[in-house]
Homo-oligomer: A and B are copies of this chain.
C-alpha cells in the first residue's frame, strides 16, 4: 500500500477558501483536499448589496463550488456544516461525518454584529448571505408597496424613510444605491406615492464616514451622496431600533427617525469561532470573535491549523487589523496554501504580509472613490476602475457576462429588471416580514 496522501481540510468556500483550495490543488497533485461549505456555491459578497437592491440575481454573483473544482480531481467538495474542531485529535466534526485532517484551513467568515442588541436584527437586517440579500430586497420593496396602498386607501402613508446604519464602504454603497432606486428606477412605477421623495439617511457613530480613506476622498464621497439626496448623519449613535422607529443619540440630543426600512452595515462578527473550538483555551479572540493568529496565520500551539479571511485577526503594518475585504481574504487563502507547501517541504514560510492594492467604494451609477497606492481618484474614472475590478474578480466568465449585461442595461436605461421579490412571501405587507427560517 502506498503512503497515505496528506489530507487538507478547508472550511468555508469564500475567497480565502477558494483560493487556498485552488492553489493547493495546483501545487501538489498528491494532496487530498476536502472543501466544506454549508452552501453549494461560492458567493461574490462585494456585490451582494446589488442583489438586495434588485439589480442583480443571486445566480449572477454565485457560482457552484463543484463547478470551480470540476477539473481538480484531488479536490473533493462537501456540502454541510462543521460544528466543532478537535485540535488535539485533528478532526472536524460534521453531523454524520468526522473529517480527519493533516492540515486545516478555517475560513468561515463573518456575519452582522448587533453589539449585544440581537433584537434589532428583526427590524434592521444585515447583508452577508443570499438569504440576507433577498430578505433585505423584500423589506425594501414592501415599504413602497405598503406606502402606495395606504396612500390610495387613506390618503396618508408612513413617511418613506430609509435608514442605513454604518458609514463604511458597505453603508455608502447601500445608501447610494437606495437613492438611485427611489429617485430613478421606481420614479414612474407608482400612482399614489412619490418614490423620488423618499428620504435616505446614512447614520454613522463616528464623526466621519469611510474610516481609513483619505479625507479628500471622504469629502468627494460626501458630495456624491449629497447629490443623490442621501442625508448623512455622522456623530449619531443608534440607541434603539424598535418597530418602525430608530432612535439616535448625537451631541445635539436625541433624534427619532420613523422608518420601516432600517438596514444594518455597522459591524460584523465571526460566524463561528469560539463554538468551533470548544476545548481550545489557548486561542485568543478579539471583541468581534475573530481569531488571533501567528505571523504565518496558524493558530497558537497548532502549526497545522490556519485561519484565513474575515475570521482571522491579522494586524497590518500600521498595527490595525486588516479590513474584511476580498483582497485580504484572497491573499490570506493563497498564503495559507503556500505555508502548507513550505511545511510539507520541511521549510518554514515567511510571515504573511498583505500587499494592499487599495480600497474603494462606489456611490450610485457613476461615482466612486478609489485609493490605489499613492493614487486617489473620485467620480467617473474611479467608478470605471471599480467596475473593472469587480468584473475581474467574479469567478466565472458567465457571471461576468451576466453582470456586465445588467450593468450596461442599468447604465443606459436605468431600468432594473431583477427587482422581483420572492423568498418567503409576506401574507400582510403591513407588518414586518418574517425572515425565512434558516
Interface residues of A (CB under 8 A from B): 38-41, 56-60, 62-64, 66-67, 70-71, 73, 76-81, 95-97, 130-131, 134, 141, 145, 148-149, 152-153, 186, 188-192, 396, 398-399, 401-402, 405-406, 409, 415, 417-425, 427-430, 434, 436-438
Contacts and interface: CB of A to CB of B under 8 A. Distances in A.
Contacts of A423: 423, 436
Contacts of A134: 422
B63 A60 contact: no
Contacts of A81: 427
4 smallest CB-CB distances across A and B, nearest first, come from A57-B59, A66-B189, A41-B420, A57-B57
Given A41-B422, A131-B425, 5 more contacts: A58-B420, A64-B420, A66-B190, A77-B189, A401-B405
Give the interface SS of chain A, mostly helix, strand, loop or mixed.
loop
Given A95-B428, A149-B80, A430-B96, A422 B131 contact: yes
Contact of A417 (B64, B186, B405): B64
Contacts of A60: 57
Contacts of A141: 40
A191 B25 CA distance: 15
Nearest to A418: B59
Nearest to A51: B59
A144 to B, nearest CB: 9
A72 to B, nearest CB: 10
30 contacts: A39-B420, A39-B422, A39-B425, A41-B422, A56-B59, A57-B57, A57-B58, A57-B60, A59-B59, A59-B417, A59-B418, A63-B417, A63-B420, A70-B188, A71-B188, A76-B191, A77-B189, A78-B149, A78-B152, A79-B149, A79-B429, A96-B149, A97-B153, A134-B422, A396-B417, A401-B405, A401-B409, A402-B417, A423-B436, A424-B438
- Which among A40, A62, A80 has the highest number of chain B CB atoms within 10 Å? A40
